[in-house]
Amino acid sequence: MSENSLKIKVCGMKYSENIEELLLLRPDYVGFIFYEKSPRFITTQWAVFASVFPKTTRKVGVFVDETAEGVLQKATELGLDMVQLHGHESPELCMEVRETGLTVMKAFRVGEDFDFGQLQQYAHDCDYFLFDASGANPGGNGVRFNWEVLKNYTLDVPFFLSGGIDLEHVEEIKALRLPQLHGLDLNSKFEIQPGLKDMNRLKLFIEEIRG
């Protein structure tokens, strides 16, 4: 995929005015974290910002080791387009959620010795994978992993790249030759505080990637 066709997902949004500012940048996906231990746990009333979403921006709910029932209830209540499963969810849970018509993205924390073979059991039950760095928290650690290991990924399931992506990485991302790379997941490196994004820096990154 060419760099100017990479999808942009901005995750961990928490504040309604900040969300409205972000939507002016036309990201492809906006992620909301429904994990109470996260500092980006979304508590804003959905009605405050639901109506301003353009049709081209998809709403993503991020869950960590939630039950299928819990995921589906939240997705129905809030009109989510996609769910991101960022814990130790089984292929069976992914299948159960996906069979309802929701788009499913399963996240994996990647290190130097990551076994991509384990993804085969998820391949038929996920629309996307997300590859994040290992860290103390399930996500939002602000650290990178060695992107070279992604050359070992051979499945057809498209994936999002996550983990410490910053403005300084634009040219490196443009140089990547990873045919299954579908999008970029932006979060902590663009924050003023957890859940509050710096729109100037995000705007610059999106313009440079899409330019």
Ranges 34-38, 60-64, 131-135: which has the least confidence: 131-135
Confidence of residue 53 (pLDDT cuts 50, 70, 90): confident
In this prediction, residue 16 carries a pLDDT of 86
In this prediction, residue 51 carries a pLDDT of 62
Does the structure show a pLDDT above 80 at 2? Answer: no
In this prediction, residue 111 carries a pLDDT of 87
In this prediction, residue 52 carries a pLDDT of 75
In this prediction, residue 49 carries a pLDDT of 58
Higher pLDDT, 198 or 51: 198
Structure confidence by residue, pLDDT tens digits, 87-132: 999 999 999 999 999 999 999 999 888 999 999 999 999 999 999 9
In this prediction, residue 79 carries a pLDDT of 87
Q: In the predicted model, what is the mean pLDDT of residues 136-150? A: 75
- Tokens in use for 131? 């590859």
> What residue spans define the domains of the chain?
3-210
Q: Say what percent of the chain tops pLDDT 70.
A: 91
Q: Name which of 107, 118, 116, 53 is nearest 80 in CA terms.
A: 53
Strand partners, 167: none
What CA–CA distance (Å, rounded) separates 137 from 11? 15
- Tokens in use for 70? 């819990």
Does the structure show a pLDDT above 80 at 133? Answer: yes
In this prediction, residue 176 carries a pLDDT of 95
Q: In the predicted model, what is the mean pLDDT of residues 50-55? A: 76
Confidence of residue 46 (pLDDT cuts 50, 70, 90): low
The CATH number assigned to the domain with range 3-210 reads 3.20.20.70
Structure confidence by residue, pLDDT tens digits, 150-208: 999 999 999 999 999 999 999 999 999 999 999 999 999 999 999 999 999 999 999 99
